[in-house]
């Protein structure tokens, strides 16, 4: 079964929902295939991470590029933070669900996470630097938090107004083209 994923853009309601854990009976090849599809859409959009709600799946699933150097991709199911460093780093982040928006976000420099593989195995891993930042960003998505929630009300409002104007222009253009 090949899914046709479409990245959800703010203000899509699913991006504000807290995700549900994947149930024991849902682990297996179908979940693994779905997450492989998520990796493909992430890579085709030049992303470094993607969470379930960003493709319309309300479950606690994440795919990510795990290393600053190696080509190593992660599929994380029901991830939970076990430990995080007190050392914080603040880097500019973007998001496939908030196109054209960038903001500096303080994050823990090191993160230890326990998660399941799509087949149900339990793993633990420690992430540092960019990988730790990416994982924390995706974990936010699982809790219904987007980059807009990390910014000031003024910046958030301006972005959403700009986005609404753009959406209206796109809708008018599509309507105009369909009348041709």
129 belongs to a structural domain: yes
| Structural tokens at position 120 | 């149900």
Could you list the residue range(s) of the whole structural domain that residue 53 is in?
13-151
Residue from 129, 175, 142, 124 nearest 50 by CA: 142
99 belongs to a structural domain: yes
Q: What is the pLDDT of residue 68?
A: 59
Whether 93 is catalytic is: no
> Any alpha helices (H) in the chain, and if so which ranges?
29-44, 129-142, 153-178
Bridge pairing between strands 88-93 and 73-84: unpaired
Q: What is the DSSP letter of 156?
A: H
26 belongs to a structural domain: yes
Q: What is the pLDDT of residue 70?
A: 57
25, 83, 128, 138: which one is catalytic?
A: 138
Q: How far is CA 87 from the centre of its chain?
A: 23
161 belongs to a structural domain: no
* pLDDT tens-place values along the chain, 180 residues long: 446 789 999 999 999 999 999 999 999 999 999 999 999 999 999 999 999 999 999 999 999 986 655 557 999 999 999 999 999 999 999 999 999 999 999 999 999 999 999 999 999 999 999 999 999 999 999 999 999 999 999 999 999 999 888 888 888 888 878 876
Number of domains in the chain: 1
4 belongs to a structural domain: no
| Structural tokens at position 109 | 């420099």
Q: What is the pLDDT of residue 166?
A: 85
175 belongs to a structural domain: no
157 belongs to a structural domain: no
Q: What is the pLDDT of residue 1?
A: 44
CATH of the domain at 124: 3.90.45.10
86 belongs to a structural domain: yes
């Amino acid at each position: 079964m090949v899914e046709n994923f479409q990245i959800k853009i703010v203000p899509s309601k699913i991006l504000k929902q807290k995700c549900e854990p994947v149930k024991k009976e849902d682990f297996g090849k179908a979940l693994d295939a779905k997450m492989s599809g998520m990796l493909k859409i992430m890579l085709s959009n030049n992303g470094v991470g993607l969470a379930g709600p960003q493709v319309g799946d309300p479950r606690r699933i994440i795919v990510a590029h795990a290393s600053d150097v190696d080509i190593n991709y992660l599929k994380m199911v029901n991830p939970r933070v076990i430990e995080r460093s007190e050392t914080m780093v603040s880097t500019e982040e973007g998001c496939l669900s908030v196109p054209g928006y960038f903001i500096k976000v303080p994050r823990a420099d090191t993160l230890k996470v326990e998660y399941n593989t799509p087949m149900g195995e339990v793993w633990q891993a420690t992430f540092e630097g960019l990988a730790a930042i990416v994982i924390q960003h995706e974990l936010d998505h699982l809790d219904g938090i987007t980059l807009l929630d990390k910014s000031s009300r003024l910046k958030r409002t301006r972005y959403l107004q700009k986005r609404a104007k753009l959406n209206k222009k796109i809708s008018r253009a599509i309507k105009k083209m369909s009348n041709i």
